[in-house]
Amino acid sequence: MESLLSVENLKVHFPIKKGLLSKTVGNVFAVDGVSFTLEKGETIGLVGESGCGKTTTGLAILRLITPTGGQVKFEGRDVSQSSKKEMRSLKKEMQIIFQDPYSSLNPRMTVDQIISDPMDIHGLFPGNERKDRVAHLLERVGLSAEQGKRYPHQFSGGQRQRIGIARALALDPKLIIGDEPVSALDVSIQAQIINLLVDLQQEFKLSYIIIAHDLAVVEHICDRIAVMYLGKIVEMASYKDLYRDPKHPYTQALLSAIPVANPKKNKERIILEGDVPSPINPPSGCHFHPRCHKKIDGCAMETPTLKQVGEDRYVSCFLYE
């Protein structure tokens, strides 16, 4: 497989300003050194607790948020240093599906207008070709061409997310970032949307980055999973390896929280101590050590690096050094 996206030491720090002169008194370390590669046709999942930096990472890759440091390369082109003109071309190749299917659609526009608007901005598919493409995309995501004349408030949550997916496909992109694309939907609708994304990936030859906090969801769609904690990736592995043998104590705790359908089956639950530390003042050493059930001497003093511990498997923990 060929590499489509390369993220190296990505950082996003938000300054904290106070006083009449707006003096910077600190930073929110939202993303603090994230690195990974995405191959063509691959799906990577970014998972972790709320506030761990998953969404910020996705927005920084698309340059919807300006990175503080690091490098993002898409097909060899440097996204983090691209001009506005270059970014206009790159944005045709990279699209996003937002988490909220209600607020992400303009209530004043019809569905036809919502899907065709990106084509109009980039000057693609003129005349009847555009109309035919909108109709085709609607039908491909499970809606009818006639529904394109309606407004977003006339659709259910699952239907609105289908519209958001159709909009993301409008410019024929190569990469789609799904920012918790099913978390706002009912469980039965979640399964339909996940199956739709899998089918669309094969048909349109897409690569995905799926941002989620539900490990049961990413298991069914992702090839590899990156577990994030407080702005850093602490473990990255194939979904099979991660679910069969989680290495990092944080990953073990996350997987232990997945409900089991069989009430007779006993499952060991790992309860983490305390709350997630503030990204304004993260702990010294390993950020996870104040809550870790396997911490050792040195965890509070030194910061572990993401090291390879097996074939295409990486863990940031002193237990495996």
Mind listing the pLDDT tens digit for each residue in 250-305? 999 999 888 777 777 777 888 888 888 999 999 999 999 999 989 988 899 999 99
Mind listing the pLDDT tens digit for each residue in 10-40? 999 999 999 888 899 999 999 999 999 999 9
The percent of the chain in helix, strand and coil, each rounded to the nearest 5, is: 30, 25, 45
For the residues of 114-160, what is the DSSP string, one character each? HHHHHHHHHT-S-THHHHHHHHHHHHHTT--GGGGGS-GGGS-HHHH
Distance (Å, rounded) from C-alpha 143 to C-alpha 183? Answer: 21
Mind listing the pLDDT tens digit for each residue in 51-68? 899 999 999 999 999 999
Note whether 140 and 147 are within 8 A (CB): no
Residue 1: is its pLDDT beyond 60?
no
Q: Are strands 224-229 and 43-47 parallel, antiparallel or unpaired?
A: parallel
Phi, psi of 71 (to 5 degrees): -140, 135
Residue 110: is its pLDDT beyond 90?
yes
The mean per-residue pLDDT over the stretch 300-318 comes to: 92
Q: At what angle do helices 157-169 and 187-204 cross, to 10 degrees?
A: 20
Smallest CA-to-CA distance from 174 within 97, 94, 96, 88 is with 94
Distance (Å, rounded) from C-alpha 297 to C-alpha 8? Answer: 30
Q: Which two tokens stand for residue 54?
A: 């998953």
Confidence of residue 69 (pLDDT cuts 50, 70, 90): very high
| Distance, CA of 97 to chain centre | 10
> What percentage of the chain has pLDDT greater than the value 90?
76
Which class is domain 3-93+173-258+268-320?
Answer: alpha beta
H/E segment holding residue 191: helix 187-204
Distance (Å, rounded) from C-alpha 8 to C-alpha 237? Answer: 17
The mean per-residue pLDDT over the stretch 314-321 comes to: 92
The per-residue pLDDT for 310 is 87
The mean per-residue pLDDT over the stretch 139-163 comes to: 95
Burial (Cβ within 10 Å: 0-12, 13-18, ≥19) of residue 210: buried
